[in-house]
């Protein structure tokens, strides 16, 4: 009884739209990243060298630049004050690598400058994890027990995880905009290289927008399906 409802319910299209948006954004990022991974920057700096130079240019001396394994695993960790660059970014002199390295330095600058959305996002991490882990079990148990309040609590927890994804957006766009401006002003990238880096970082940011949109659609579906349960 429970499963057929999921397979034949028309709101399932909301999930499909979310999946399609995410796939399109990810395909766009892969294509753009691959394209500019093959374009060597004129300055000849590696991602690592560019990151060190950018951090120094901002007077940030307490952040380490480290190498991490994997692909697209690059991130800034505010707890350990480290810019972590993946194998393909750390030693590469491509436009894409320098753009990603600069983006992570953008997060280090946000941290150094007490950028409010970054702080809000960090504060939301435990809440969002809690919400993401408990929302579905609560919703499913709620449905099985026929209890509206458990389902409502599950939806509320799910919306906390969605909120986290929305707060992530200004943080990501701001880090990229700082990165592009700084690569330009320090002369690490010149001329059309600046626009090429911008397109890589925009494609990366779009994947966050797609993920947030997909989660919002999922939330909308939950509300459409269960929003009126209490009145039954
Ligand atoms: Zn980022």
Do 164 and 121 form a contact (C-beta atoms < 8 A)?
yes
Question: For residue 83, what are the β-bridge partners?
Answer: 65, 76
Instruction: Evaluate the CA torsion angle 142, 148, 152, 155 in order and state its sign.
Output: positive
pLDDT confidence tier of residue 146, bands split at 50, 70 and 90: confident
Distance CA 187, CA 193 (A): 10
Verify whether residue 104 is a known catalytic residue: yes
Higher pLDDT, 106 or 225: 106
Model pTM above 0.85: yes
Share of the chain above pLDDT 90, in %: 78
pLDDT confidence tier of residue 4, bands split at 50, 70 and 90: low
Task: Lowest mean pLDDT of 30-34, 77-81, 140-144, name the range.
Answer: 140-144
Do 159 and 216 form a contact (C-beta atoms < 8 A)?
no
List, for residues 197-215, the tens digit of each pLDDT value.
999 999 999 999 999 999 9
List, for residues 173-185, the tens digit of each pLDDT value.
999 999 999 999 9
pLDDT confidence tier of residue 115, bands split at 50, 70 and 90: very high
Residue in 48, 49, 104, 172 annotated catalytic: 104
What's the pLDDT at 228? 63
Helix segments in the chain, DSSP class H: 2-8, 12-37, 47-57, 87-90, 95-112, 116-145, 148-185, 192-226
Average pLDDT over residues 114-125: 93
Phi-psi domain of 9 (left: phi exceeds 0; alpha: psi -120 through 50; beta: other):
beta
Alpha carbons within 13 angstroms on the beta-carbon side of residue 106 total: 22
What's the pLDDT at 1? 46
pLDDT at 5 over 70: no
The Cβ of residue 205 has, within 10 Å, a number of other Cβ atoms equal to 20
The per-residue pLDDT of the chain, averaged, comes to 92
List, for residues 39-96, the tens digit of each pLDDT value.
999 999 999 999 999 999 999 999 999 999 988 899 999 999 999 999 999 999 999 9
User: What's the CA-to-centroid distance between 75 and ligand 1, angstroms?
Assistant: 6
What's the pLDDT at 232? 45
User: What's the CA-to-centroid distance between 157 and ligand 1, angstroms?
Assistant: 24
Higher pLDDT, 231 or 227: 227
User: What's the CA-to-centroid distance between 151 and ligand 1, angstroms?
Assistant: 33
User: What's the CA-to-centroid distance between 121 and ligand 1, angstroms?
Assistant: 12
User: What's the CA-to-centroid distance between 13 and ligand 1, angstroms?
Assistant: 30
Phi-psi domain of 146 (left: phi exceeds 0; alpha: psi -120 through 50; beta: other):
left
Average pLDDT over residues 28-49: 96
What's the pLDDT at 63? 98
User: What's the CA-to-centroid distance between 44 and ligand 1, angstroms?
Assistant: 24
pLDDT at 141 over 50: yes
């Amino acid at each position: 009884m429970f499963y057929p409802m999921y397979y034949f319910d028309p709101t399932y299209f909301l999930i499909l739209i979310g999946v399609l948006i995410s796939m399109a954004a990810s395909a766009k990022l892969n294509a753009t990243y691959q394209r500019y991974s093959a374009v060597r920057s004129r300055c000849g700096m590696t991602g690592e060298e560019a990151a060190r130079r950018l951090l120094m240019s901002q007077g940030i001396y307490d952040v380490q630049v480290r190498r991490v394994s994997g692909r697209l695993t690059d991130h800034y960790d505010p707890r350990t004050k480290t810019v972590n660059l993946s194998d393909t970014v750390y030693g590469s002199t491509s436009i894409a690598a320098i753009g990603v390295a600069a983006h992570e330095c953008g997060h280090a600058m946000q941290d150094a400058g007490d950028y409010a959305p970054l702080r809000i996002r960090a504060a939301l991490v435990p809440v969002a994890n809690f919400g993401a882990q408990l929302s579905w079990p609560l919703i499913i148990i709620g449905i099985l027990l026929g209890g509206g309040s458990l389902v409502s609590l599950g939806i509320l927890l799910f919306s906390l995880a969605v909120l986290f994804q929305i707060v992530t957006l200004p943080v990501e766009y701001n880090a990229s905009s700082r990165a592009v401006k700084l690569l330009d002003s320090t002369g690490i990238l010149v001329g059309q290289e600046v626009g090429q880096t911008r397109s890589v970082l925009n494609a990366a940011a779009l994947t966050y927008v797609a993920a947030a949109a997909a989660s919002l659609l999922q939330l909308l579906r939950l509300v459409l399906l269960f929003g009126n349960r209490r009145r039954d």
